[in-house]
Amino acid sequence: MDASAALWNELTYERRQRFFDGESVWDTDDYRKRYVGVLGSATAQQVIRKNREAWRSFFSLKEKGEAAGPSGYWGNEDDGRVLRTYVRNDQYTLETGERSRLEIPVGSDLKDEYGLGHTERLRLEVRGEPKWSGKQGRLELYYDELDDRFRAIQPVSDCSPRDTPLADETAALDIGANNIVAATTSTGQQFLYGGRDLFDRFRETTREIARLQSLLAEGRYTSERIRRLYRRRTRRRDHAMDALARDLIERLHAEGVSAVYVGALTDVLSASWSVRANAKTHNFWAFRAFIDRLTCTAEEFGITVEVRSEAWTSRECPNCGSTGRTTRHRDTLTCECGFEGHADLTASETFLRRHSDTTVPRPMARPVCLKWDDHRWSASPCARRPNEEHTNPQDASVEVGQRDRPRSRGFPGL
């Protein structure tokens, strides 16, 4: 892992120098030859490939006009290099059971040092129980500094047959923080994922971090406890967002949705005078990460995700089309024409109608509201609003959110 970090940092340094000098970042020295004795040819090539992917991502974001910086180094202030490496999917073997073990390749120099034969691989004891099966992907190994453990992450391909949409319906998503996602489908169904409880817990942890930082000695900025709180805060949020993406896409797939429209986030992420609003937009929401997560999940079901403009959708009345006669107060949108409805759900309905090629019916059944309970998104019908049409409550579809099923599995330790 140390050799992998050194390889990454040397390659990154040369590419950064070339980039700032206006030269091609791809014409670099052959670093594989320098590290093949420790890593082996395949692993060295994987680290180089991962570095290339990072730079391609940077250039792709730059072409789109999004804020991004060139690839950085693997390192931290306290211990220097970050210990991490990647192993090609056909170069390792994982066996679980009574004597679970992981076998990975190493270079000839390490084989000589530890007495391994020419065809032998390094064998490591592992702890953990895989939850998913399928075709194994590139293995990631890293050292967890806070828990003082080595960890392995093994992505696997989902072998389920749910890789094609059931019909040719569309859906539009209005993304926010008070309500993380409001979705409307061309079948007339609506889903609302509430985010207030999630943000309140996020903010409580943030306050505790600030309190602990105020107790640090002068010149210190962090501690092990603070780092643990930062990680817990991030993991809680990411777990909820992963589960949300999975639950939402499964529901859209069941509705026959093949294309999802998501609003562009430029206006949403603009600065606000409110400290609370800034905390939501820049810390809690993590919009781009969520869109990437949603897109990856949708690919499993053959659903496409497209980013479109949602300008004025949150202010437009679905009855008369006015934007100047509407008033929004918290979750309610009202219009002088007499309309009153849920602001975010109405925005997603207007957004879908604006970009859909087919006629979008007015939602008739009560929307399905979903709430996070630390494990899954649980569903119930939303409360009625005045002047909105509803079907008989007994006819409204109510589903229970399922536990998130990630595409990768992690093992607590090696």
pLDDT tens-digit profile of 354-366? Answer: 887 767 777 767 8
- For 241-289, the pLDDT digits (tens) are 889 999 999 999 999 999 999 987 654 544 444 555 555 555 666 777 7
Same domain, 9 and 120: yes
DSSP 280: I
Q: Is the same domain home to 275 and 314?
A: yes
Answer whether residue 213 is part of any domain. no
- Does pLDDT of 196 surpass 60? yes
Report residue 148 as tokens.
Answer: 């003082």
Residues 6 and 138 in one domain: yes
pLDDT at 258: 92
Q: Among the listed ranges 83-97, 234-248, 400-414, which one has the minimum average pLDDT value? A: 400-414
Q: Is residue 216 part of a domain?
A: no
**Are residues 264 and 383 both part of a single domain?**
yes
| pLDDT(401) > 80 | no
Domain boundary among 141, 159, 177: 159
- Do 138 and 273 belong to one domain? no
Shared-domain flag, residues 119 and 189: no
Q: What digits encode the pLDDT tens for the residues 166-189?
A: 788 999 999 887 888 999 999 989
Residue 222 covered by a domain: no
Choose among 192, 183, 90: nearest CA to 135: 90
Question: How confident is the model at residue 256, as a pLDDT?
Answer: 92
Distance CA(47)–CA(65), nearest Å, equals 28
Do 270 and 394 sit in the same domain of this protein?
yes
Domain membership of residue 411 (yes or no) is no
Q: Is residue 104 classed exposed, middle or buried when 0-12, 13-18 and 19+ CB atoms within 10 A define those classes? A: buried
Apex 180 CA angle, 381 and 228, nearest 5: 120
Same domain, 173 and 315: yes
Handedness of CA 337, 338, 342, 348 (dihedral sign): negative
Check: pTM over 0.85? Answer yes or no.
no
At 237, the pLDDT band (50, 70, 90 cuts) reads confident
Last residue of some domain: 110, 133, 159?
159
Least trusted range by pLDDT, from 117-121, 323-327, 378-382, 395-399? 395-399
- For residues 123-132, average pLDDT: 86
pLDDT for residue 394: 39
Which of 159, 190, 214 is the last residue in one of the domains? Answer: 159
pLDDT of residue 366: 83
Mean pLDDT of all residues belonging to the chain: 82
Any domain includes 87: yes
Q: Is 301 helix (H, G, I), strand (E, B) or coil?
A: coil
Same-domain pairing of 104 and 190: no
Average pLDDT over residues 208-222: 91
Do 125 and 63 share a structural domain?
yes
Question: Are 188 and 155 in a shared domain?
Answer: no
The whole-angstrom separation of Cα 334 and Cα 327 is 5
Asked whether the predicted pLDDT for residue 396 surpasses 50, the reply is no
Does the residue 206 lie in any domain?
A: no
**What is the pLDDT, as a whole number, of residue 285?**
66
* Boundaries of domain holding 66: 1-159
- Shared domain for 84 and 178, answered yes or no, is no
Domain count, the chain: 2
SS3 content of the chain, % helix, strand, coil (to 5): 35, 20, 40
- Determine, yes or no, domain membership for 218: no
Report the percentage of the chain scoring pLDDT > 90: 39
Q: Specify if 217 maps to a domain.
A: no
- Range from 68-72, 295-299, 403-407 carrying the lowest mean pLDDT: 403-407
User: Helix axis angle, 287-300 relative to 224-254, nearest 10°?
Assistant: 40
